[in-house]
Amino acid sequence: MLHRLEGESAATGHPFVDVFRPWQEGPVSWMVAENITTGTSPTTFSPKDAVTRGQLSNFFYRYKGEPAVTVSWASPPCTG
């Protein structure tokens, strides 16, 4: 949805072993390049799982970019 809103901007490359369908590659690569997603682990995106309310709110927050967000696996996970 965000990828389409952004005009389907081109991006290539992502670290996820479970994203391999052609229609998944562009949007997921773009979300990684824009720091909108880090996946469900460093190597998985879990495209077959439902998106939680918390995950979606993170996508919107990071897409908006205000305030600036630093994404790091060293950060403690969100709970609740």
Give per-residue pLDDT as tens, 50-68. Answer: 999 988 888 888 888 766 6
pLDDT at 17 over 90: yes
Query: 44-79: b or e for each residue (b if 16 or more CB lie within 10 Å)?
Result: ebeeeeeeeeeeeebbeebbeeeeeeeeeeeeeeee
Angstrom CA distances, 60 to 2, 17, 38, 50, 69, stand at 8, 24, 14, 16, 12
Q: What global pTM score does this model have?
A: 0.72
| Average of per-residue pLDDT across 64-78 | 69
Q: What is the pLDDT of residue 62?
A: 86
Q: What is the pLDDT of residue 65?
A: 76
Q: What is the CA radius of gyration of the chain?
A: 12
